[in-house]
Amino acid sequence: MKAWMAAFALPLALVFAGPLAAQETRMAEAGQASPPATIAAAEWLTGTWSGTGIGGAKAHESWLAPSGGTMVGVFVQETAEDGIMFSEHMYLMEQDGSLVVKLKHFNPDLTGWEEKDGMVTFRLIAAEPCALHFNALTYRCDGEGKMVVAVRMKSDAPEPQELVFRFRRAPTR
């Protein structure tokens, strides 16, 4: 009897653990307020990060040190041929006693994805040591000098679809 249970327990555990282990992003509950936070909670992001992104192609993200409650960042997703697929201009800022990320996407020719006055906004839903969880966007440390960034994509698929970027802190020059 024990051998039978053991034979099925491991495969079942792997099946059910897979989607949970793969989920990096969190979603706010209806009416959930953002927790109190200041830009100091994000200072660990300061610097340049390089790694892999969409389709395993190179990706880069850089954040300037905080200035007046705001950190300015840029993200570049390369193509497999080392060209620019798209970029993002980002603000991680204090707002209403918490933090938000506001960003705009740009094609390689600098035409924007969003309307002129439009942007994508992610509000903070949890802050932990070396991790910031925004609604559908996560920044977290992944060991010494490494970071994971994940964003949940809008999709009709039954399981949430995420893009996961794995970075290493680039050496300073």
pLDDT at residue 21, rounded to an integer: 40
pLDDT at residue 154, rounded to an integer: 83
Which residues 6+ apart lie within 8 Å of 59 measured at CB?
50, 51, 52, 53, 75, 76, 77, 78, 165, 167
pLDDT at residue 7, rounded to an integer: 37
Q: How many domains does the chain have?
A: 1
Longest pairwise C-alpha distance within the chain: 66
pLDDT at residue 74, rounded to an integer: 99
Q: What domain range includes position 69?
A: 32-169
| 15 located within any domain | no
Cα 158 from Cα 144, distance rounded (Å): 35
- CATH number assigned to the domain comprising residue 51: 2.40.128.20
pLDDT at residue 160, rounded to an integer: 76
* pLDDT tens track, the chain, 173 positions: 444 333 333 332 323 333 334 489 988 888 889 999 999 999 999 999 999 999 999 999 999 999 999 999 999 999 999 999 999 999 999 999 999 999 999 999 999 999 999 999 999 999 999 999 999 999 999 999 999 999 998 878 777 789 999 999 998 76
Q: Are 87 and 79 in contact (CB under 8 A)?
A: no
Calculate Rg over the CA atoms of the chain. 18
Nearest to 92 by CA among 66, 118, 115, 127: 66
| 6 located within any domain | no
| 9 located within any domain | no
pLDDT at residue 18, rounded to an integer: 32
| 156 located within any domain | yes
What is this structure's pTM?
Answer: 0.82
**Phi, psi dihedral angles at 46 (to 5 degrees):** -55, 130
